[in-house]
Amino acid sequence: PGLACVITIPQDPITLRYGFDGFGRVGQTTDPGPIPCVRRLSKQDQLSLEAQIATLGLGAPPESVVLATPCPTGMVQVDLAANGRRWSHRLPQSQAAELLQFCERCTGQGGGAELPNARYAWEGDPWAIWRQGRPSD
């Protein structure tokens, strides 16, 4: 699988979360449970997501750090996974504006899950799906 990430945005009184699962699927939720698979990302969108992550300087640091404390208001937390590594970054919401617009566009209306019951345990362990040996499609 490719790059996976969960983007958390605290908004009073809810927390908005977007997930991209590494298999080219995207979801959105306002609750702390699993992020449902909303729809498949196009190849172009997957490349765009990777480019935005790179442009924002959110690539893998030499030592993985996974942030576990709640994300403060005004910040955005991006939890990433690739090649068996996990890491997190926080950045000001203004700096992440383009990424958030991308998330909103990708989870737009009319997307239904392409796989039945495609729900993944993103919260707490966004990449459990990889370790469970689920086959890539």
What's the pLDDT tens digit per position in 99-117?
999 999 988 754 444 444 4
Closest CA to 96 of 68, 80, 75, 82: 75
What's the pLDDT tens digit per position in 25-59?
888 888 877 787 778 888 999 999 999 999 999 98
Beta-strand ranges (E) seen in the chain are: 4-11, 14-21, 25-29, 35-36, 39-40, 75-82, 85-92, 119-120
More confident residue, 121 or 73: 73
Does the pLDDT of residue 130 top 50, yes or no?
Answer: no
